[in-house]
């Protein structure tokens, strides 16, 4: 169901206030061919209503040469502003960038954040944003998880379906996501509610079983038949199962890049407002699927690049797999038990 412009504008003002937007600050709204027009209009109105200055930077599309055509999610890290110094320098000079195009996983985003620009990516339609409106308590819980994750040197994940994975941590930083960009150089994503990191390169041993009802992104599909993946030295070495296993293998093989089989970021969802079932109601063309990545207690396993964290893998193939019902340990401390957050300072009472 659509929401009114008045309500959507109010939501934008709420999130920008959480992002500590101040009168007189400079904001750039970055757009591309698929940017949501309602988000564009109401984000700019909200910026002006809070007394800041705003301009729009619209960048024409670039058709990539990847194996799956121009689909944005099939070409992570490749953006229309690559090599465009005028655009990059403008974004670096902004106090806040509202990214309605999608710079995630790109070297350009890393450079812009290094200039201490705040950045908020918003790619979902207004009704998803309204359902997942962030609050200060989201940040409190996510940052409590982030502090624990930064201390950890091992993550262990199990599930009733047969997952038993252990990865080493500590080489790379963490990525806390709580839905607003309130600190210099902080990137965030509305909607979200998540904590994640990247395994130390070459680390990761065991089995991951993608069970019935788990999701595969960027395909935005719920798994019907379990997929069993064996992990050795941080790479997927075998994939077995039914249709989804065959689909996954053919998709990744098309890149002809062995790095596509590496483990990328791993973490767990912390947003109680998000719904596991929501993706089934969404038009695939108009949703990135962040709600399904953030739902409370999911373990998110992903494949492909780690370059944004400072690693050596910048392959174009990236798969996100939110998994329900898993248990997650950091070192020897249980964080998530059977899909329920139990760690002090992270759980939501009643869930």
- Identify the pLDDT of residue 77: 76
Check whether 70 has a pLDDT greater than 70: no
Structural domains of the chain sorted by starting position, each given as residue range(s) with its CATH number in brackets: 5-123 (3.40.50.980), 134-181+192-341 (no CATH)
Contact 165, 208 (CB under 8 A): yes
- Using alpha carbons only, give the angle 235, 241, 244 rounded to the nearest 5 degrees: 85
Name the DSSP class of 284: G
pLDDT digits (tens, 9 = 90+) for 300-341: 999 999 999 999 999 999 999 999 999 999 999 999 999 999
pLDDT digits (tens, 9 = 90+) for 87-143: 999 999 999 999 999 998 899 999 999 999 999 999 999 999 999 999 999 999 999
Cβ neighbors of 315 (< 8 A, separation 6 or more) are 255, 257, 259, 260, 262, 304, 305
Rounded distance between C-alpha atoms, residue 235 and residue 177, angstroms = 26
pLDDT digits (tens, 9 = 90+) for 85-98: 999 999 999 999 99
pLDDT digits (tens, 9 = 90+) for 226-266: 999 999 999 999 999 999 999 999 999 999 999 999 999 99
Contact 149, 128 (CB under 8 A): no
Give the residue from 177, 220, 205 showing the smallest Cα distance to 321: 220
- Identify the pLDDT of residue 288: 85
Rounded distance between C-alpha atoms, residue 8 and residue 174, angstroms = 31
Contact 336, 297 (CB under 8 A): yes
**pLDDT tier for residue 48 given thresholds of 50, 70 and 90:** very high
């Amino acid at each position: 169901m659509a929401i009114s412009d008045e309500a959507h504008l109010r939501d934008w003002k709420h999130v920008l206030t959480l992002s500590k937007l101040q009168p007189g600050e400079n904001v750039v709204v970055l757009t591309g061919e698929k940017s949501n027009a309602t988000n564009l209009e109401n984000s700019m109105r909200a910026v002006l209503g809070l007394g800041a200055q705003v301009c729009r930077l619209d960048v024409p599309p670039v058709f990539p040469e990847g194996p799956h055509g121009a689909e944005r999610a099939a070409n992570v890290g490749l953006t229309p502003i690559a090599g465009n110094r005028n655009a990059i320098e403008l974004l670096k000079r902004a106090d806040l960038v509202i990214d309605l195009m999608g710079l995630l996983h790109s070297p350009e985003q890393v450079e812009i954040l290094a200039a201490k620009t705040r950045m908020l990516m918003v790619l979902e339609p207004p009704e998803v944003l309204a359902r997942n409106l962030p609050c200060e308590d989201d940040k409190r819980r996510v940052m409590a998880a982030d502090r624990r994750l930064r201390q950890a040197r091992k993550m262990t994940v199990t599930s009733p379906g047969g997952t038993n994975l252990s990865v080493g941590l500590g080489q790379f930083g963490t990525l806390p996501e709580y839905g607003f960009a309130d600190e210099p150089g902080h990137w965030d994503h509305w909607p979200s509610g998540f904590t994640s990191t990247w395994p130390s390169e070459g680390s990761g041993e065991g089995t991951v079983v993608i069970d019935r009802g788990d999701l595969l992104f960027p395909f935005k599909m719920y798994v019907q038949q379990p997929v069993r993946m064996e992990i050795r030295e941080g790479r997927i070495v075998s994939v077995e199962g039914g249709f989804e296993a065959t689909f996954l293998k053919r998709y990744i093989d098309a890149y002809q890049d062995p790095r596509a089989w590496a483990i990328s970021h791993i973490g767990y969802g912390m947003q109680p407002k998000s719904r596991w079932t929501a993706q089934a109601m969404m038009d695939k063309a108009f949703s990135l699927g962040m709600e399904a990545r953030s739902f409370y207690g999911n373990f998110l396993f992903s494949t492909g690049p780690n370059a944004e964290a400072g690693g050596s893998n910048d392959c174009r193939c990236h798969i996100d797999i939110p998994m329900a019902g898993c248990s997650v340990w950091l070192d020897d401390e249980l964080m998530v038990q059977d899909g329920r957050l139990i760690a002090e300072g992270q759980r939501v009472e009643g869930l």
